[in-house]
Amino acid sequence: MTFEEQDESTCESRPIADDGPFTLEVDGEIFTVTVRPGEPGASDYDWKSGPNEGYGFSSFHRVSYYSVLDRANSPSNEIQPETIDEHRASIRDFLSKVNPETGYIGD
């Protein structure tokens, strides 16, 4: 499955692990996104068009609770899968931190 930036109809879709990896093009860069099975809110991003093979990042979204009681009373499926637009935002954040000369963060 491939989602391009111009594909507005898919912006709010929420891929899950069972859908398998999918490809996103963001600001001219290509990423393969894998939603982790059994880990709600966790995804891995492989930067396919980047200068360093195998380089990418992972993201984790968690829920905060005001109290232990609130956590105990919350539904177990409270973390929703990310939308395509949310995946794009994570990728843009990653790309903003990459040194253009080295292709790595922190170099």
Phi then psi for 47, rounded to 5 degrees?
A: -80, 90
Please give the tally of structural domains in the chain: 1
Q: CB of 48 within 8 A of CB of 28?
A: no
Assigned domain for 105 exists: no
Neighbours of 11 (CB within 10 A): 13
Give domain status of residue 20, yes or no.
yes
- pLDDT at residue 54 in the model: 94
pLDDT at 89: 95
Q: For position 77, what pLDDT does the model report?
A: 55
Measured in residues, the chain has a length of 107
SS3 at position 8: helix
Structural domain includes residue 75: yes
**Which residues does the chain have with pLDDT short of 70?**
1-10, 63, 71, 75-78, 107
Q: Is residue 19 part of a domain?
A: yes
Show the domain range for 8: 2-97
